[in-house]
Amino acid sequence: EAGVAQSPRYKIIEKRQSVAFWCNPISGHATLYWYQQILGQGPKLLIQFQNNGVVDDSQLPKDRFSAERLKGVDSTLKIQPAKLEDSAVYLCASSFSQGENGYTFGSGTRLTVV
């Protein structure tokens, strides 16, 4: 079974620039999550999709962050404009149902904003 694919692995941008991350979940997994992990902290949920609908985006900073999951498969997370405090690892995860058996995470995209 192929894992959760994320790209790019690393990205360095200047503040106020925009950036996009891509995620391809495990085939058949209906639920997709984007988490932000700041160095030394646990993952924090940004947004959760069920198929192509948003289940929870209450912690997504909507003035600068956006995400979509067209056709209920791949997903893109965008930041525009980026701030220094957005420097973090952005993790994508997927699960078969509501995640009661756990999530499968990708390797993440490490973003550095300078």
Residues of this chain that interact with another protein (CB under 8 A) are 4, 33, 35, 40-45, 48, 55-56, 91, 93, 98-108, 110
CB of 51 to another protein, least distance (A): 14
CB of 32 to another protein, least distance (A): 11
- For 62-97, give one letter per residue: b (16+ CB within 10 A) or e: eeebbbebeeeeebebebeebeeebbbbbbbbbbee
Cβ nearer to another protein, comparing 17 with 50: 50
Burial of 1 (0-12, 13-18, 19+ CB in 10 A): exposed
Cβ nearer to another protein, comparing 46 with 113: 46
81: which DSSP letter?
S
CB of 81 to another protein, least distance (A): 27
Write the CB contacts of 55 (distance below 8 Å, at least 6 apart in sequence): 31, 48, 49
CB of 66 to another protein, least distance (A): 19
Cβ nearer to another protein, comparing 12 with 18: 12
Cβ nearer to another protein, comparing 57 with 74: 57
